[in-house]
Amino acid sequence: MGKRRSSPDTLIDAHVRFSPGQPKTKHAKKDLSNAKNAVSLLRLDSGSTPPLASEQTDYQHAEALKTTSPKRTSHESLTNTRNKLFGGLCASLISENISRVRAKIIRRLWTSNGGTLDDTAQTAKLILSEVSPSRLRQILDVQQLPEGVQVIYPDWVSRCIASNALLDPTICQVSDPVEVDCAVASDGTLTDIEIGDHGSETASDSTEVLELERVSGPLGSDTTHLVTSAPAFTENMDTSRKAETTSEVSADSLLSRIIHEEQDRTRLSVDGANADRFESDFDVESDEFDGIDDEVIEIDDDATATKPEDSLTKGVDQPKIRSQGRFLCMQENGRKDIDMNNKNAQITDVLEVLLRRSEAEGEHFRVLSYRRAIQTLKRHGKTIESGSEARKIFGIGGKMADIIDEVIETGRSRKAETVPESQAVLALFQGVHGCGIKVARSWYAQGCRTLDDVRAKARPTHNQLLGLQFYDDLQQKMPRNEAGAIGECVIQTCRSIDSKSQCTIMGSYRRGRPMCGDVDVIVTHPDGRSHQTILPALIARLKESSSLLLIADLHLHSSSSGYDSATSYMGICRLPEGAGIHRRLDIWTVPWDEMGAAFLHWTGNDIL
DNA sequence: GGGCAAATACTG
DNA sequence: CAGTAT
DNA sequence: GCCC
């Protein structure tokens, strides 16, 4: 029904800006690997060498990090840890300026990869800290840190995990902020910071820059989340520059990675499997919610951290177990897979009926609840045998437990069967583009019970008229190759206007779905301007085109209000050949430097 | 009982 | 402005 | 509708 997607503006307004120099992703990649090579990497000793990446040849830090961790003499414990990334390393985590949840995650990351912890900082040669060295000395109550002790940002841990290698800790070394090129207001909030050369967005050799602007307000207790460049680019900077960067936002590496990847894929291969692989690169789990505030900035740690096995076994003492919030698109075969392996189909079928009812009634949050419950049950690898068993699952409460009991016992649910007469009609009406719950009720109140009634008795608006006219067609999904063909027409046409313009098919198509409800195309231009003006020309030329027939406009507009970056077209089209079914087509224009955000946004994670 | 996804653009 | 859309 |  296409009523559950977001507009592009959300993310863009989240102050994420991506300022690419030019489409020079190759450069960036090469620089990254060079940087990696340049970094001296660690290892312990030959006996407990972790499986490091091939380029890791420099062992100069090995001694510095070698610890006298307990039970090293036991051959058994040695083999237990030798294959872990941090095997044999002992670190101390200074929790000041680190939120509870984050600290927890860092600890988990560290220990689950073989590291040991010594929070007294007596024996540890590695100190993970978000405080300045001077403050650290205060905390530890020492004049001078012992020799050989390295103080680094905890971010190092996740970066190591991300690259599956022991990175040179000096790249995350904590140093006193001497000349930091950012302003920290007295309240701890920040003003903009810029790192790297991006005075001109088109400068050919400018570094790609991610600005992550922290808006305001406390995030948990910490005040140290400054804006920094993304790690990949950090490694491009010379060391002194790096040292001036006072701290790192833990989310930044994830964001940059996503955006980086996205820029790498101006056009993602049509192959769905490819899409899946890409998505799984940033696997976000959210199974720990001690503090909501923290979650926002924990994405990185969380993402790189938990392997599925871990997450299933932990949280045993929690009364409710949250579903592992994975993206739908990460499932091998997407929804089909989920549907096929649905061990609770009998239950979810009933719940879907109830969901439809709530949908028809405009019960927004009830719909949300049903949807969450259905989703969770479909993924619940085990057949539910009782309502009380289901009740334990996060998102399933008393009402649904009762329904589940009834379904299990009687095979059906009276509630799902006693459908109010009006429900089907309201749902039918709301299938009309431009008709929501209000209009549907009003039509119903006017005595309409069928679409023909509406045509005859009601006074539909322009869009509703189109919605009525193409009702059946627009209800159908199209095979993805048709979506691809339509999108390709748009792309070709756009390119014929300006060969430098860049278009990408987004939405379900990009998520690799076999069937698509509509076609979303975003248009951008590397000059940072032309996207604003290209749309009218594009529409005009599409209307002349014979390869794609634009049948009707639902809306064609250039924004005139303060927000100048989004303009869009919504219309109905069809391919001249084939079944000739009419399809919804949306075209959005996006400023070049917001493409990263736009990709994130329009790729989405729609379910059901 | 309050809060739950949020923001924004277009129509009439 | 309310409603619908994304 | 569910959670807190």
CATH assignment of the domain containing A132: 3.40.50.10190
pLDDT grade for A77, boundaries at 50, 70 and 90: very low
> Which carries the bigger pLDDT value, residue A503 or residue A255?
A503
Range(s) of the domain holding residue A447: 421-464
- Eight-state DSSP code of residue A397: -
Measured CA A461 to C1' C1 distance, in angstroms: 17
**The last residue of a domain, from among A402, A431, A464:** A464
Q: DSSP per residue over A126-140, as a string?
A: EEE-SS-HHHHHHHH
Nucleotide C2's nearest residue (CA vs C1') is A438
Helices (H), A235-291: 239-244, 250-264, 272-280
Measured CA A473 to C1' C1 distance, in angstroms: 32
**pLDDT at position A9, please?**
33
**pLDDT at position A208, please?**
28
**pLDDT at position A329, please?**
56
Q: Are residues A481 and A370 in the same domain?
A: no
Q: Is residue A134 part of a domain?
A: yes
Q: Are residues A363 and A451 in the same domain?
A: no
Q: Are residues A579 and A521 in the same domain?
A: yes
**pLDDT at position A558, please?**
55
3-state secondary structure of A307: coil
Asked if pLDDT for residue A450 goes beyond 60, the answer is: yes
**pLDDT at position A421, please?**
83
For residue A505, give the nearest of A267, A259, A329, A328 by alpha carbon. Answer: A267
Cβ-count burial of A257 within 10 angstroms (0-12 exposed, 13-18 middle, 19+ buried)? buried
pLDDT, tens only, A17-55: 333 323 323 233 222 233 233 222 233 233 333 333 333
Other beta carbons within 10 Å of A468: 20
Asked if pLDDT for residue A266 goes beyond 50, the answer is: no
Measured CA A346 to C1' D3 distance, in angstroms: 25
Residue A4 CB closer than 7 angstroms to strand C? yes
Of all nucleotides in the shown strands, which has a C1' nearest the CA of A370? D1
Measured CA A230 to C1' D1 distance, in angstroms: 41
Long-range contacts of the stretch A448-457 (C-beta < 8 A, 24+): A449/A425, A450/A425, A454/A429
Question: Region A132-139: what's the mean pLDDT?
Answer: 75
Q: How far apart are CA A131 and CA A153, in angstroms?
A: 9
Of all nucleotides in the shown strands, which has a C1' nearest the CA of A568? B9
Q: Are residues A408 and A427 in the same domain?
A: no
Q: Is the CB of residue A300 less than 8 Å from the CB of residue A282?
A: no
Helices (H), A392-479: 398-410, 414-417, 421-430, 437-445, 451-457, 462-469, 471-475
**pLDDT at position A434, please?**
97
Cβ-count burial of A120 within 10 angstroms (0-12 exposed, 13-18 middle, 19+ buried)? exposed
Q: Are residues A480 and A525 in the same domain?
A: yes
Q: Are residues A528 and A578 in the same domain?
A: yes
Asked if pLDDT for residue A433 goes beyond 50, the answer is: yes
**pLDDT at position A10, please?**
32
pLDDT grade for A437, boundaries at 50, 70 and 90: very high
Question: Region A305-313: what's the mean pLDDT?
Answer: 37
For residue A590, give the nearest of A23, A21, A9 by alpha carbon. Answer: A9
pLDDT grade for A59, boundaries at 50, 70 and 90: very low
> Minimum mean pLDDT among A108-112, A445-449, A589-593: which range?
A108-112
Give the bases of strand D that a protein CB approaches within 7 Å.
1-4
Q: Is residue A517 part of a domain?
A: yes
pLDDT, tens only, A190-243: 333 232 333 333 333 322 222 222 223 333 333 333 222 233 223 333 333 333
Q: Are residues A597 and A481 in the same domain?
A: yes
Q: How far apart are CA A305 and CA A314, in angstroms?
A: 13
What one-letter code names the amino acid at A24?
K
**pLDDT at position A431, please?**
95
Residue A550 CB closer than 7 angstroms to strand C? no
| A51 CB-near residues (< 8 Å, 6+ apart) | A83, A164
What are the distances in angstroms from CA A241 to CA A179, A190, A540?
9, 19, 50
Residue A359 CB closer than 7 angstroms to strand D? no
Helices (H), A476-594: 480-497, 507-510, 531-544
Q: Is the CB of residue A580 less than 8 Å from the CB of residue A572?
A: no
What are the distances in angstroms from CA A349 to CA A322, A339, A365, A515?
21, 11, 19, 21
Measured CA A461 to C1' B12 distance, in angstroms: 8
Angle at A94 between CA A89 and CA A99, to 5 degrees: 115
Measured CA A422 to C1' D3 distance, in angstroms: 30
Q: Are residues A525 and A407 in the same domain?
A: no
Of all nucleotides in the shown strands, which has a C1' nearest the CA of A391? D2
Q: Are residues A536 and A578 in the same domain?
A: yes
Question: Region A445-450: what's the mean pLDDT?
Answer: 97
> Minimum mean pLDDT among A252-256, A500-504, A593-597: which range?
A252-256
Q: Is residue A355 part of a domain?
A: yes
Asked if pLDDT for residue A265 goes beyond 50, the answer is: no
Asked if pLDDT for residue A114 goes beyond 70, the answer is: yes
Percent of chain A with pLDDT over 70: 56
Q: Is residue A224 part of a domain?
A: no
Residue A354 CB closer than 7 angstroms to strand D? yes
> Which carries the bigger pLDDT value, residue A19 or residue A440?
A440
pLDDT, tens only, A94-107: 878 776 556 766 78
What one-letter code names the amino acid at A340?
M
Q: Is residue A131 part of a domain?
A: yes
Q: How far apart are CA A55 and CA A41, in angstroms?
A: 9
Residues for chain A: how many in total?
608
Instruction: Quote the distance between the C-alpha of residue A149 and its chain's center.
Output: 36
Measured CA A555 to C1' C6 distance, in angstroms: 12
**pLDDT at position A39, please?**
27
> Which carries the bigger pLDDT value, residue A352 or residue A167?
A352
For the domain that residue A343 is a member of, what is the CATH number? 1.10.150.110
Average pLDDT, chain A: 67
What one-letter code names the amino acid at A505?
I
> Which carries the bigger pLDDT value, residue A170 or residue A29?
A170
Measured CA A352 to C1' C2 distance, in angstroms: 29
> Which carries the bigger pLDDT value, residue A555 or residue A291?
A555
| A81 CB-near residues (< 8 Å, 6+ apart) | A48, A87, A88, A114
pLDDT, tens only, A1-10: 333 343 333 3
Which tokens is A404 given?
């589940």
Phi, psi angle pair for A261, to nearest 5°: -60, -40
**The last residue of a domain, from among A417, A434, A451:** A417
pLDDT grade for A537, boundaries at 50, 70 and 90: very high
Q: Is residue A367 part of a domain?
A: yes
**pLDDT at position A400, please?**
96
> Which carries the bigger pLDDT value, residue A162 or residue A268?
A162
Q: Is residue A213 part of a domain?
A: no
Question: What's the total number of domains in chain A?
Answer: 4
Q: Is the CB of residue A254 less than 8 Å from the CB of residue A299?
A: yes
Q: Are residues A486 and A379 in the same domain?
A: no
Residue A359 CB closer than 7 angstroms to strand C? no
**pLDDT at position A495, please?**
97
Of all nucleotides in the shown strands, which has a C1' nearest the CA of A368? D1
What one-letter code names the amino acid at A347?
I
Long-range contacts of the stretch A289-295 (C-beta < 8 A, 24+): A289/A322, A290/A100, A290/A101, A290/A104, A291/A99, A291/A100, A291/A101, A291/A220, A293/A99, A293/A218, A293/A219, A293/A220, A294/A99, A294/A100, A294/A101, A294/A102, A294/A219, A294/A220, A295/A101
Which tokens is A572 given?
């109905």
pLDDT, tens only, A320-351: 766 544 555 555 555 666 677 788 899 999 99
Q: Are residues A489 and A585 in the same domain?
A: yes
**The last residue of a domain, from among A172, A200, A226:** A172
For the domain that residue A492 is a member of, what is the CATH number? 3.30.460.10
Tokens 């997607």: give the residue.
A5
Q: Are residues A552 and A438 in the same domain?
A: no
**pLDDT at position A513, please?**
87
Question: Region A60-89: what's the mean pLDDT?
Answer: 50
